[in-house]
Structure 1
Amino acid sequence: MSKLGQVVESIENYNKFVLDQVKRARTDEKFGRELLGRWNDIKAKIPITRTPTGVPLPRLALPEIDEPGEIARYLFGEGLPGEFPYLNAAYREMYLEPVREIESFEKNGGKLDKKIPQTEEPTRLFSGLMLAEDTNERFHYLTRHQRTHRLSTAFDGPTLYGIDSDADGVFGKIGEGGVAIDTVEDMIRLYDGFDLGSPNFSASMTISGPAPIIMAMYIAAAKRRFGPKVVPKLRGTIQADIFKEVQAQNETIFPIEPSLRFLTDMVEFTTREMPRWYPISISGYHIGEAGSTPVQQAAYTLSNGFAYAEMFAERGIPIDQFGPRLSFFLDCGLDAEYIALSRVSRRIWAIGMRDVFGGGPKAQLFKLHTQTSGRSLIAAEFKNNLTRTAAELVLAYMNATNSCHSNSADEPFTTPSEEWIRLAAHGQAILLEESGIFKHTMNMLSGSPGMKAVERAVEAAILDEFREIERLGGVLAAVEERYQRSQIQNAAHRYEQQIYDGTRPIIGLNRYRDGEDDIPEVKLVRTPRAKQQLQVDRLAKFKKKNAEKAKRALDNLAAVVERGENCFPTLLEAVEVCSLGQITGRLQEVVGRFRPMV
């Protein structure tokens, strides 16, 4: 039995354990009294907050139960926020106004005498366009009102494939749909003006195939600006999810085994040298966007995560060293499964990491970034996308996501303009700061009978997917059989067929159309030819300046890879004088190129 099979067994055993505790609480009088006493003590210690209209509310909402069996079912089956198995939340408090701010407000007759420090906002908006300085300008625009700067970076097509901007046939793609990054100098421009070592700054980079090279560039850029002592202070994540690329997104540039080796080299380095960095974001978002069902998205993401955990452990990295540095990224659409998808995923991950991998509490946490669904954005009557995204945001925060990106309504047509991305950001601010849905009470929307029904159905369906992957020999064997990819393709076809035949209503497209097919006037964001030429000219200058040093650095990198050593430290040296495309090309000479399985 593989580790994934053991995870299935561990979930089944834990569910049986919960039922045993329920039965024990009802038959063992002493145990029942202890549980009831603990429950009453928990409730007695919950602080009370007040809404702006003066209504008192508990900071944590709990079910009104006093029967020991139901208390056992809640405490063991769900857990309080921040307690195993973390169904309700990874942390004790999320999104809440500080108590001291509320008390100060009341004490001073509705006026705050001083600003109370608050926790990091969950809003993290995805951005990338044109050249590094253009994306940098957008970053500053997006964060100008934020207490903490949480940047999320989109790269253009050539960068995602590890190709330089001067490569044949890519000129028109430079800076389109993301930022063009060829060299460490571009990376310096990208985050200029931000204090990369600050505890209030973090950077997320959505790139997988050449992720170790881009990660090395980020470290090198930080060292150039702030010196070598900044490296342990760097916060953020890089996607680096090779399994997801093969299953759904197609941006793999090396064969699978070398890709996983380069990833593990990077993870080994960052877990040792960068304790605040997440070196992999295990991503279901692109699986969902490729057409999967919500259950497939969660099942493939979780199974990929367990496969990575097994791989890193085999390298000899301690579970409690790399486990806390794993993060996750899920889509949030409008299907009913999203009512509880992330909650169930958090519980499955915690049980599997504890009972199969032996991970401690920090390694058990399913740290999640959520993005509203790009697939749900429709060109027809596109302003309806504001409502779609707002509904998806409610679902994401109901599931206690750690951070969130809200898509812009104009994305069916273009890279978002400032007008629409501002509205997308305000959607989160209205939900979290203006409304009282999440800022007064934890668990405000959790635990309804409908949500519990969805939880049970989703967990059972995820475990069925695990069993099928286990039957095929595990994640890597299933990937080689194209299992995940074929299932995603089938689901995508079914989704489009449902739209076509009307069984999946899309307002403004196949239901309640206004009868007009006119394309609306939307400002398109495109990279001017002059900027694309500037990127090529900068790259040529960089290559000319470092020509001799680059040759030696590439030879050294190739030798380290051929000897089977960890290549990431050598990669850190190479990015100082080599471009992304130069490094990718040389590594492909050594390990080959990715070829899709047939």
Structure 2
Amino acid sequence: MEQQIPYNPKNKVRIVTAASLFDGHDAAINIMRRIIQSTGVEVIHLGHDRSVEEVVNTAIQEDANAIAMTSYQGGHNEYFKYMYDLLHEKGAGHIKIFGGGGGVILPSEIAELQDYGITRIYSPDDGRSLGLQGMINDLVEQSDYPIGDKLNGEIDHIENKIPTAIARLISAAENFPEIAKPVFDQIHTNNTNSKIPVLGITGTGGAGKSSLVDELVRRFLIDFPEKTIGLISVDPSKRKTGGALLGDRIRMNAINNPRVYMRSLATRQSNLALSKYVAEAIQVLKAAKYDLIILETSGIGQSDTEIMDHSDVSLYVMTPEFGAATQLEKIDMLDFADLVALNKFDKRGALDAIRDVKKQYQRNHNLWDKNPDEMPVFGTIASQFNDPGMNTLYKAIMDKIVEKTASELKSTFQITKEMSEKIFVIPPHRTRYLSEIAENNRSYDEIALSQQKVAQKLYGIFKTIESVSGKIPQINKAGIDDSTVLPSATEAHDENRIFLNLLLNQFDKVKMDLDPYNWEIILNWDEKVAKYKNPVYSFKVRDKEIKIATHSESLSHLQIPKIALPKYEAWGDILRWNLQENVPGEFPFASGLYPFKREGEDPSRMFAGEGGPERTNKRFHYVSAGLPAKRLSTAFDSVTLYGNDPDIRPDIYGKIGNAGVSICCLDDAKKLYSGFDLVHALTSVSMTINGPAPMLLGFFMNAAIDQQCEYYIKANDLEKEVEAKINKIYKEKGTERPRYQGDLPEGNNGLGLMLLGVTGDQVLPLDVYNEIKVKTLSQVRGTVQADILKEDQAQNTCIFSTEFALRLMGDVQEYFITKNVRNFYSVSISGYHIAEAGANPITQLAFTLSNGFTYVEYYLSRGMNINDFGPNLSFFFSNGVDPEYSVIGRVARKIWAKAMKNKYGANERAQMLKYHIQTSGRSLHAQEIDFNDIRTTLQALYAIYDNCNSLHTNAYDEAITTPTEESVRRAMAIQLIINKELGLAKNENPIQGSFIIEELTDLVESAVLQEFDRITERGGVLGAMETMYQRSKIQEESLYYETLKHNGDFPIVGVNTFLSSKGSPTVIPAEVIRATEEEKQYQITMLDNLHQFHEAKVNEHLNKLQEAAIKNENLFDHLMEATKVCSLGQITSALFEVGGQYRRNM
């Protein structure tokens, strides 16, 4: 495709960009907003997970020409229509709406939305025909119209703080200053006696000004419940294109409040920190009678003093990383600023830096009579929730405003005297942990190689002795038994004896360089080989002996070994193979964790989630019918993924039960898993949930406990008594008891439904209930994803601040140790979503393992024992068709085992990296969808040959819709055919011994360790996240793949090559599975009933939860109780107040 020329807009065009509510897919909108910006547009970027109200309010306050949205999580019909309606309702119907969502938005829906009034929804075929720049050209051209050229009495409405009027006046000043001049003359006259204070904030780029401003606004709104605040934020324009990225809003959580108005301005001139029209914007906000105005400038260097012309009080924001103390003499603002914030106070050298800044401030202001410690310089960590330094800074700012302007803003905000102190997740002295692991593993490989050479040399001497003596030497722990090779007195040949003695002495000398453990390996090799040739192999798992047949018989009556061993004879080869490969079940676990696969339990795990809990329960029973092992993977709808409750608000309502199941309370969890015994050894539940994972885990655990209470009730003939108790409880409350909607599916015996609406402790004696609870927790099997680091790096379903989210993870793991939860994984450290966001297989593996080791370091820093928590960690990878995917599991197992054993001293169980793998969603294409099953089959083959612990095969139609029963059955059949029909799959280590597999293993392992070093250079995983290293790398790799796919350099059959006669257009699904109106309404009704039923108890539980957070008690202990009565949204909101909300990054 030819290079397209960007459209050149005639007017100053402003566009708001964002991803829709509960939608973390921000890669596409990030690419789009970059191209929009380079086309000469001022872009106000909001990032992912934005409600209609937030986007509409932003577009109105910013007086945007258009809104450009992506929506990949369903609910788009309601979302876009609600946006259109809200814009018209708020008098901003002129703002154009553009959208896209890949194959998620059907052509019929595109037509419906465009008929409704949405300007344009772009389809994948539009992308193919127009190209990215072509689409953006179309969008910008349609948005290219003047704003502010016609004023219509706006001045009469600004005192009422009407956002459209305020916004239009600022636009008029920016775009048509001559037309606006008479109006502004009047505004200046009206403002002559205005006493409204202006706080000017400036500082270097990257100092964290946006986060700091947001924290000031949050405190102001709490401090003054009746006051209002106006913000003007200035960012630089691009000299070449005239475009600008106005990105301050993305970092702000507090501004979507009716008492806050914010306007972003581009400088529209180079080398200046302010727009020409800042003065006019301030005058408009003063005329609107905002109680406080904050002006924040773009950070463009050391000279930002022009802000002094516009502000009453000035704050300079900097970081400790300014270099030598002499650099401070060059910063003009230190001469003029009323206050200085040394933000990012957690950086190395912060204490020295604040001392130097205070001394420089003292010198600049000639304050020799005061102690340097009294200077108005404050260490802050704005990114940390409820930071003491921010509290102190806020109070000092408000005091200074009152002192200098005599305004009525006397703060009563309560502060403590403590300094900002970073709550370290990883102790500072441990930040090199990844490089230490890399060094440890490389050292292991070097030692293994040197030991191999020693063993090979020994074997050479051994064979020489055999050749010279004519006898086979016998070996034992001490070495060679001399008597088996030296000639006897009757057959003495002095020369031979002398030579053999020399050889034996040399053998003993060389053997001193061989580790006794490695000599044992050589000694026991023949015995090991013999064990696998015996018809039956026995081994122990948790003190239980398991016997397994070592061969299977083919139709040709050949005995096919389940484990094939190499026919090596040379000791160096044998030792190298044992140290770097080994049999399944033995360190370093290259070929698998257990000696043999468990019979009767194929690794298949099927993913389901749609509509309400009843519909997904039916799907679970359908996909597991006839299978001895019930492995249930749960997909949650986006409302649940973001910790919210179902609601009638259109942008929420449209997403209830779409692309996942709606679960918002304990009763939902009981219905979802009803009919499956959650503590049975062959039942395992996986929950793909991250931000609100602890709450969903609480629902699940309580559902499992209540199931076992049911067994007790039935075993003791207490059904009638319990039923009477429940009916009495509901009669007294006067509310309807929850029920399972519809008929039970085949295979559902109703287990889990007896105690709907109540919990076991309400109907059974407390001692009995507690006994059941203890037993259940020790037996329940499953996994909760809960990987918050990966969410920040790739998938974006973070809801809490990172530190608080990690604390919750640690609390869950601590609870698991205390309560002896041995069979449930507290986290599934996930590379799948890193790969889905665009990472290549090496980056996926490196980032996933580095996240895993970060959890290890964090849990160790909390005092947990590695052998206690190690077995509760699991992993989750994606499997594409790239060559590296053929070894992803074996490399992961090797790196993990070497580090856990030799670096951390973990026991064997903690050394085992257990992983689930899923075929790549990214390789599912919306063109020629039948070809997707071919790709999935090849990926499944990779996974099974690499001995994965469990596998999910995607359905071929998932690129265009929620999978149907037919497509799910085909996906299941892929695994079943490989496991049951494919002859080579009867062998359990089929890729061992392949030259290319060994070469790839070494290459990938080396590449991962190199990535560990790169992450260390950036301060470890959390340090790298601060500079968005992982996110940037993922996006670069995604763009590389998309570029090659787009230009055809990377051939994809049916997509860019081997096209059908019709050009392989995007396939439109014949059947689209969406939640029904009935399901959505029932979820809302049921939630209302729950809130009404538990009204008296909810606040008590939420208060206890918040107190536990403040007192640093284990939160999951309290969540286990709160989840019995509170809904998901209630708990999320309560925890926001004590743990802070996640702050988005650009």
Report the TM-score when normalising by structure 1.
Answer: 0.94
User: What is the alpha-carbon distance in structure 2 between the residues aligned to residue 535 and residue 317 of structure 1?
Assistant: 40
Q: Following TM superposition, by how much is the alpha carbon of 1:69 offset from its aligned partner in structure 2, in angstroms?
A: 1.1
How many residues are matched? 575
Q: What is aligned with 2:1001? A: 455
Match of 2:654 in 1: 172
Q: Among 645, 669, 672, which residue is 1:190 paired with?
A: 672
Aligned residue for 2:957, secondary structure, equals coil
User: Partner residue of 1:58?
Assistant: 561
**What's the secondary structure of 1:386's corresponding residue?**
helix
State the partner residue of 1:235. Answer: 781
Letter in 2 for 1:451: I
1:295-326 Cα deviation digits (max 9, x unpaired): 00000000000000111111111100100111
Does 2:1041 correspond to 1:507?
Answer: no
Corresponding position: 1:571 with 2:1124: no
1:38 paired to 2:524? yes
Letter of the 2:635 partner, please give it.
Answer: A
For residues 35 and 473 of structure 1, the distance between their equivalents in structure 2, rounded to whole angstroms, comes to 40
Cα distance, 1:207 vs structure 2: 0.4
Q: Deviations over 1:372-403 (max 9, x none)?
A: 00000011110001100000000011211000
Partner in structure 2 of residue 106 of structure 1: none
Other-structure match for 2:1080: 532
**Per the alignment, do residues 398 and 59 of structure 1 end up closer, same or farther by CA in structure 2, a change over 3 Å counting?**
closer
CA distance in 2, matches of 1:151, 1:493: 34
Q: In 2, distance between residues paired with 1:35 and 1:561?
A: 52
Q: Partner of 2:992 in structure 1?
A: 446
Which one-letter code corresponds to 1:508 in the other structure?
G
Question: How big is each residue's C-alpha offset from its partner over 1:248-296, in whole Å with a ceiling of 9 and x where there is no partner?
Answer: 0000000000000011101111233211111100000000000001000
Query: Quick one: distance in 2 between partners of 1:128 and 1:454?
Result: 36
Specify the alignment match of 1:427 in structure 2: 974
AA aligned opposite 2:911: Q
1:496 to 1042, 1058, 1070: 1042
Q: After TM superposition, give the deviation of residue 153 of structure 1 in Å.
A: 0.4
CA distance in structure 1 between the partners assigned to 2:1074 and 2:603 by the alignment: 29
Instruction: Give 1:496's aligned amino acid.
Output: E
Preserved contact between residue 917 and residue 943 of structure 2 (Cα < 8 Å)? yes
1:77–1:321 CA distance, 2 compared to 1 (3 A): same
- Considering Cα pairs closer than 8 Å and 6+ residues apart, tell me whether 1 or 2 has the greater RCO: 1
The residue type equivalent to 1:443 in the other structure is N
Is the 8 Å Cα contact of residues 920 and 954 (structure 2) preserved in structure 1?
yes
For 1:474, give the aligned amino acid: G
Deviation at 1:35, TM superposition (A): 5.2
Name whichever of 230-239 and 57-66 sits farther off. Answer: 57-66
1:349 match: 896
Q: CA deviation at 1:160?
A: 0.3
**Distance in 2 between the 1:79 and 1:404 partners?**
23
- Which of residues 399, 406, 425 in structure 1 aligns to 2:953? 406
When structure 1 is superposed on structure 2, of 266-275 and 561-570 the one drifting more is 266-275
1:302 aligns with 2:783: no
Q: Give the Å deviation of 1:422.
A: 0.5
**CA distance, structure 1, for counterparts of residue 1089 and residue 520 of structure 2:** 73
Q: CA deviation at 1:465?
A: 0.6
1:414-441 Cα offsets, whole Å, 9 max, x none, are 11100000010011000001221222x2
Answering whether residue 896 of structure 2 is matched by residue 386 of structure 1, we say: no
* Structure 1 unaligned spans of 5+: 96-117
Shift of 1:447: 2.5
C-alpha distance in 2 between matches for 1:89 and 1:133: 37
Q: Report the Cα offset of residue 518 of structure 1.
A: 6.2
CA distance in 2, matches of 1:522, 1:322: 47
Q: Is the 8 A contact 2:609 2:661 kept in 1?
A: yes
Q: Any idea what SS the aligned residue of 1:46 has?
A: helix
- Name the CA distance, whole Å, in 1 between partners of 2:611 and 2:691: 21
Q: Tell me which structure has the larger Cα radius of gyration.
A: 2
Secondary structure, aligned partner of 1:129: coil
CA distance in 1, matches of 2:980, 2:959: 28
Give the share of equivalent positions with the same residue, in percent.
40
2:1025 aligned with 1:544: no
Which string of whole-angstrom CA distances, capped at 9 and with x for unpartnered residues, describes residues 42-100 of structure 1? 222213442122012223112222111111110111122111111111111126xxxxx
1: CA distance between counterparts of 2:562 and 2:682?
25
In structure 2, the CA distance between the partners of 1:36 and 1:310, relative to structure 1 (3 Å rule), is closer
Segment of structure 1 superposing worse, 40-49 or 464-473: 40-49
Distance 1:281 1:521 in 2: 32
Confirm or deny that 1:131 pairs with 2:612: yes
Aligned to 1:102: none
- Classify 1:149/1:70 alpha carbon distance in 2 versus 1 (closer, same or farther; 3 Å): same
Counting only pairs closer than 5 Å after superposition, residues 230-269 of structure 1 correspond to structure 2 as 230-269=776-815
CA distance in structure 1 between the aligned counterparts of 2:601 and 2:451, rounded to whole angstroms: 37
Whole-Å Cα distance in 1 between the matches of residues 694 and 942 of structure 2? 33
3-state SS, counterpart of residue 560 of structure 2: strand
**Quick one: which of 144, 151, 172 aligns to 2:632?**
151
Q: Distance in 1 between matches of 2:522 and 2:668?
A: 60
In the TM superposition, 1:354-369 aligns within 5 A as 354-369=901-916
Aligned-pair Cα RMSD in Å: 1.5
Residues 475-490 of structure 1 mapped to structure 2, 5 A cutoff: 475-490=1021-1036
Q: Equivalent residue of 1:185, what SS?
A: helix
1:292 aligns with 2:810: no
Change in Cα spacing, 1:119 to 1:272, as seen in structure 2 (3 Å) is: farther
> What is the rounded CA distance, in whole Å, between the counterparts of 1:572 and 1:35 in structure 2?
49
Distance 2:886 2:648 in 1: 45
C-alpha separation in 2, matches of 1:561 and 1:35: 52
Paired with 2:879 and 2:562, the residues of 1 have a C-alpha distance of 26
Residue 325 (structure 1) aligns with: 872
1:336-380 Cα offsets, whole Å, 9 max, x none, are 111112111110000111111111100000101000000000111
State the distance in 1 between where 2:961 and 2:1097 align: 40
AA of the residue aligned to 1:42: K
Give the AA of the match of 1:231: L
Q: Which of 50, 60, 81 in structure 1 is aligned with 2:584?
A: 81
SS where residue 173 of structure 1 aligns? coil
1:521 Cα shift?
A: 4.6
- 1:522 to 2:1004 alignment: no
Opposite residue 531 of structure 2, the aligned amino acid is K
In 2, Cα distance between equivalents of 1:62 and 1:167: 62
Question: Contact (CA 8 Å) 2:871, 2:909: kept in 1 or not?
Answer: yes
Asked if 1:16 is matched to 2:16, the reply is: no
3-state SS, counterpart of residue 786 of structure 2: coil
Per-residue Cα deviation, 1:227-257 (whole angstroms, up to 9, x for no partner): 3232221110100000000000000000000
TM-score (norm 2): 0.49
CA contact (8 A) 2:648 2:1084 kept: no
| 2:960/2:1068 contact within 8 Å kept | no
Listed as ranges, the matches of 1:86-101 within 5 Å are 86-94=589-597
Instruction: Return the alpha-carbon distance in structure 1 between the equivalents of residues 1122 and 851 of structure 2.
Output: 30
Match of 2:1015 among 462, 466, 469: 469
